[in-house]
Structure 1
Amino acid sequence: METIRLNTGIELPIIGSGTNTFGKENRDYMGKINGDTTEIETAITAGYRHFDTAISYRNESVVASGIAKSGIPRSKFFITSKLPGKPEYTSNEAAVQKGVEESLRTLKTDYIDLFLIHHPWNNPEEITSVWKVLEKYTDKGVLKAIGVSNFNEEQLKHLLDHSRIKPAVNQIESHPGLWNDDIIAYSLENNIVPEAWGPLTRVSPEAKKILTSIGEEYGKTWAQIILRYQLDRGVVVIPKSHNEERQKQNLDLFDFELTEEQKNKIAQL
């Protein structure tokens, strides 16, 4: 697996697995946690070592169990979790600490590779205060890197202006229905790695037809073309699939290269 070096110096696998419906009844985001680790296990067998979860997903324990069942050392995995932008996790230092400690306990680990503020809220000063607590955990090595999710340029700039440790990652929505070019460019300009959640969602029939046509030249699916395009422009991807074969396909991106003409066509979708 190829990696990218974050501004903290650690290596982030450029393809990870989303998990927000893993280990839940009916594969429903709001479904009851059933503890099923099947998708984690098949992903690990396929070669995934980068998993993205969050306190709000309620399934950090499922990710932890799947990793434990693999028998592969924790050090071989890159785990991301996220702090909700809710008062019970943000109102003061103790609330932030509660969130971090909760994740550590549920993930059954003494460190987290990447910890994100899950989403911004309308209180820049409080966001800065939360960030300062995360910086302390980074100083101690408990959080190896910290970042944000769903921050726009203004929100990211405020944090950059008021932080001691620069965000390592900005995880944002990016797919053919919304490439989000501007915030991706701004993140890259500031040495912050953009990471796409939901990279295979909101693909119109027209877009899928164009992507499938491009894929036929390489023996690749429309989904693989999307993911390759994102990687080519410096965006880490965290596709999610419950299907073992598609999990494998989402990793199989390194034996072809898109032409500039193809990339320009994809950018217009």
Structure 2
Amino acid sequence: MALSLTSLYQLSNGTTVPRVGLGVYQVPESLEAVALIKRALQVGYRHIDTAAAYGNEASVGQAIRESGVSRKEIFVTTKLRTGKRGYDTTLQEFNESLQRLGLEYVDLYLMHSPYGGSSARLDSWKAMEEVYQRGLAKAIGVSNFGTHHLDELLAHCQVKPVINQIELHPWLVQKKITQYCQQHNIVIEAYSPLAQATKAEDRVVQAIARRHQKTWAQVLVRWSLQRGFIPLPKTANPDRLASNVDVYDFALSDDEMQQLDQLDSDCHICWDPTSEPLVK
């Protein structure tokens, strides 16, 4: 079957997730945010990635309720704020996120970063396991975790993380983390897959885009998909919602993939919690 915007990826716990999601980082809580997310659902997105720290959970929930799309068809992710750690705090934070979203459950709940130290991380994970066992989150995972953080978690957890969401694009391939996750059946989600448009004029990307009569953004999303990641492209421009994910009528050749891989320069556009020491 040909891939499409609604194609699904099965996680290790059996939950399925659409292979492309809409990231809503830096989209302020507003009627414009509601309209943007509703438009995304209209053009075919079925995967929305938010976080408590983004400050727009209420807009996401409102858009879902007003979209006319069945809740069961929409995969919703939110995240535990970095400054909120510990068992009781995590349960409280999750409940507050659920209330802001106005939903009965989320499909994925992530620990937004490894910051806070070993004890706090593990206590928070125990609370997330409880949320999962109660069916309030269909899956749980992490974001911005390095291999050492994952080693620690896997040694202590009862419920294995199904996803690690990290910054990924051709200028930041993060081979060590991605290979580790693949070995442990942890799916990689790629945030900032468009490198926040900072590399839009890159000659290699532009040449490949011209060859396929595609945009630079479409080339980067396609690269992420062919690497086996779940890309989360972000845009505040409703006109680009459909364009960014119009990536299923072409494929990058092995040579083109290699050219893009060779752009890797360990270039973090965002923060880099993956290098955080285990104990502070």
Do the two structures share a fold, i.e. TM-score over 0.5?
Answer: yes
Is contact 1:119-1:148 (8 Å) kept? yes
Hey, what's the Cα distance between the residues in 2 that align with 1:211 and 1:64? 36
Hey, what's the Cα distance between the residues in 2 that align with 1:207 and 1:66? 33
The residue aligned with 1:167 is 161
> Which ranges of 4 or more aligned residues in structure 1 deviate by more than 6 Å?
none
Gaps of 5+ in 2: 1-5, 264-280
1:63 counterpart = 2:68: no
Is contact 2:200-2:217 (8 Å) kept? no
1:21 counterpart = 2:16: no
The residue aligned with 2:96 is 102
Hey, what's the Cα distance between the residues in 1 that align with 2:176 and 2:217? 23
Q: Residue 46 of structure 2 is aligned with which of 36, 44, 49?
A: 49
Aligned-pair CA distance for 1:77: 0.5
Equivalent runs, 1:151-162 vs 2, <5 Å: 151-162=145-156
Q: Residue 14 of structure 2 is aligned with which of 1, 9, 33?
A: 9
Equivalent runs, 1:136-215 vs 2, <5 Å: 136-201=130-195, 208-215=202-209
Q: Residue 253 of structure 1 is aligned with which of 247, 251, 261?
A: 247
1:115 counterpart = 2:120: no
Hey, what's the Cα distance between the residues in 2 that align with 1:79 and 1:206? 29
1:266 counterpart = 2:271: no
Is contact 2:41-2:69 (8 Å) kept? no
The secondary structure found in structure 2 opposite 1:90 is: coil
Q: Taking every aligned residue pair, what percent have the same amino acid on both sides? A: 35
Aligned-pair CA distance for 1:72: 1.5
The secondary structure found in structure 2 opposite 1:15 is: coil
Hey, what's the Cα distance between the residues in 1 that align with 2:254 and 2:130? 44
**TM-score normalised by the chain length of structure 1:** 0.91
Hey, what's the Cα distance between the residues in 2 that align with 1:214 and 1:264? 12
Is contact 1:175-1:202 (8 Å) kept? no
| Distance change in 2, residues 1:3/1:44 (3 Å) | same
Equivalent runs, 1:222-241 vs 2, <5 Å: 222-241=216-235
Aligned-pair CA distance for 1:203: 5.7
- Aligned-partner residue type, residue 92 of structure 2: K
1:127 counterpart = 2:121: yes
**TM-score normalised by the chain length of structure 2:** 0.87
1:90 counterpart = 2:95: no
Is contact 2:85-2:116 (8 Å) kept? no
Is contact 1:239-1:250 (8 Å) kept? yes
Deviations 1:210-235 (A, max 9, x none): 11211222221111111111111111
Is contact 1:176-1:202 (8 Å) kept? no
Hey, what's the Cα distance between the residues in 2 that align with 1:16 and 1:126? 29
Question: Which sits farther off after the overlay, 237-246 or 259-268?
Answer: 237-246
Question: Which sits farther off after the overlay, 202-211 or 167-176?
Answer: 202-211
Deviations 1:44-101 (A, max 9, x none): 1111110000111111000011111112121110000000121xx313x221111110
